[in-house]
Amino acid sequence: MSNDQTSVPWNESDRLAALRSYRVLDTPPEPEFDALVQLAARICQAPIALISLIDDRRQWFKAEVGLGVRETPLDRSICLSAILGSGLTVAQNLTEDLRFSTNPLVTGEPHLRFYAGAVLRTPDGLPLGVLCVLDRVSRDLTPDQAFTLETLAQQVMSHLELRRAVAERDDLLEVSRRAEQRQALLVRELHHRVKNTLATVQALVGATGRSSGSFDEFYCSFSNRIISLAKTHNLLTEDYWQKAPLREIALSELKPFVESRQPRFMLIGPHVEISADLAVPVGMALHELTTNAVRYGALSVPGGYIQIRWNVVETDGGRRVLLEWREFGGPPVNEPQHQGFGSTLLQRVLPMQCNANVEVQYDTKGLQFRMDAPLVEQRLVPAY
């Protein structure tokens, strides 16, 4: 006998998504599922019992007794038809059932003759597979055996639900653990960054004071340098104080010239992100170069322009960033008679803080600045 099959009230893609949400396919044997198939075989007095899950191209057995394989193609699946039923499917003689009579498992080894399967259905009504028993002789189930088989199928689903709940709980715990780890690392990095920033601000106060002739000059220069520092920090906070794009650092300084009718600058180079300890002094260096160009260099006259070119090269010691600033079309350049804050930053601070090689040329055609610095690759705070 067999329950009447009804029109399928579910979508196959939804069914497969539900099956995969349990994350049970291709997992090792588990005692609780093995015990259920052994109990089903014993109660129903059948030599073969399976927990069969119907995937898109195969039926896979979470637990089995008496068959000796873990999966078969769908063209050999009896359970594929069983999941279309509303409850228990029983075929007393598979050779006389048109749905199964040509199945290779019926016409050949192991010459199956009897099948009874209870659908494994999710709380949303989606069938995942079948708990079934099979025999090599034609027969039937007693009412008690049929009731027990359906009850055991419910137990299979209970174990699957519990298994999924435990996995989801573990996932949430892992997400929480990683979030706490990121938070702790972020606090550490923030403390480090604040300490460095305060030291930088203190140095800016002293250096700006020594190079300023009046309070107004001091206030203007110091304010502009703090604003430049803040721009770089804004870029760093987008990546948990880790790295900032070199192009964005340059653009933040040259932004007043972005909408100029005549191009005033060119940025040439690949996407590269530089670590916080390099980004801050590089941002300040670009600020000093831009300020100098506006006052005395290429950006002080209408026809002048700036070219910033960079590249990343591989060396035995790791990756290095090469950056070049060149000015064109400005007034003639002469080497300054005294060393101000900008010159000190370019020629002394960058080599000391960043282990960078720098070169400044006061070419009469325009100022040229070159920097060769190592890239710090290791991240403190993991990326999301």
CA 326 to CA 328: how far, in whole Å?
7
pLDDT digits (tens, 9 = 90+) for 2-26: 444 445 678 889 999 999 999 999 9
Mean pLDDT check: name the lowest of 100-109, 298-307, 348-357: 348-357
Between these two residues, 1 and 68, which has the higher pLDDT value? 68
Q: Are residues 165 and 222 in the same domain?
A: no
Q: Are residues 246 and 302 in the same domain?
A: yes
Q: Are residues 234 and 162 in the same domain?
A: no
Between these two residues, 182 and 96, which has the higher pLDDT value? 96
pLDDT (0 to 100) of residue 149: 94
pLDDT (0 to 100) of residue 31: 94
CA 15 to CA 10: how far, in whole Å?
7
Most confident of 154-168, 220-234, 366-380: 154-168
pTM here is 0.51
Between these two residues, 99 and 222, which has the higher pLDDT value? 99
Count the Cβ atoms, other than its own, within 10 Å of residue 182.
Answer: 16
Question: In this structure, is residue 287 part of a structural domain?
Answer: yes
Question: In this structure, is residue 229 part of a structural domain?
Answer: yes
> What angle is formed at CA 118 by the lines to CA 112 and CA 124, rounded to 5 degrees?
140
Q: What is the mean pLDDT of residues 32-44?
A: 95
Instruction: Work out the pLDDT band at 98, boundaries 50, 70, 90.
Output: confident
pLDDT (0 to 100) of residue 90: 93
For the domain that residue 111 is a member of, what is the CATH number? Answer: 3.30.450.40
pLDDT (0 to 100) of residue 45: 95
For the domain that residue 346 is a member of, what is the CATH number? Answer: 3.30.565.10
Residues in the chain: 384
> What angle is formed at CA 311 by the lines to CA 307 and CA 315, rounded to 5 degrees?
150
Question: In this structure, is residue 175 part of a structural domain?
Answer: no
| Domain boundaries, position 296 | 212-374
Question: In this structure, is residue 143 part of a structural domain?
Answer: yes
Is pLDDT at 233 greater than 80 in this prediction?
no
Whether 49 and 132 have beta carbons less than 8 Å apart is answered as: yes
Is pLDDT at 47 greater than 50 in this prediction?
yes
Q: What is the mean pLDDT of residues 178-198?
A: 66
Q: Are residues 152 and 230 in the same domain?
A: no
- Mean pLDDT, all residues of the chain: 83
CA 141 to CA 148: how far, in whole Å?
10
Task: State which of 170, 188, 222 marks the end of a domain.
Answer: 170
pLDDT (0 to 100) of residue 176: 83
Number of structural domains found in the chain: 2
Q: Are residues 216 and 311 in the same domain?
A: yes
pLDDT digits (tens, 9 = 90+) for 330-341: 888 877 766 665
Phi, psi of 272 (to 5 degrees): -145, 135
CA 373 to CA 322: how far, in whole Å?
7
pLDDT digits (tens, 9 = 90+) for 370-381: 989 888 766 554
28: which residues sit within 8 A by CB, 6+ positions away?
none
Give me the percent of the chain exceeding a pLDDT of 90. Answer: 37
Q: Are residues 221 and 163 in the same domain?
A: no
Q: Are residues 162 and 217 in the same domain?
A: no
Q: Are residues 226 and 358 in the same domain?
A: yes
Q: Are residues 130 and 47 in the same domain?
A: yes
Question: In this structure, is residue 184 part of a structural domain?
Answer: no
Question: In this structure, is residue 40 part of a structural domain?
Answer: yes
Is pLDDT at 382 greater than 50 in this prediction?
no
Question: In this structure, is residue 379 part of a structural domain?
Answer: no
- Quick one: which H or E segment has residue 166? helix 143-211
Q: Are residues 222 and 164 in the same domain?
A: no
Q: Are residues 232 and 356 in the same domain?
A: yes
| Residue bearing tokens 């101000």 | 340
Task: State which of 113, 141, 170 marks the end of a domain.
Answer: 170
At 297, which amino acid appears? G
- Quick one: which H or E segment has residue 273? strand 273-275
Q: Are residues 157 and 290 in the same domain?
A: no
Question: In this structure, is residue 382 part of a structural domain?
Answer: no
Task: State which of 147, 170, 193 marks the end of a domain.
Answer: 170
Q: What is the mean pLDDT of residues 213-226?
A: 71
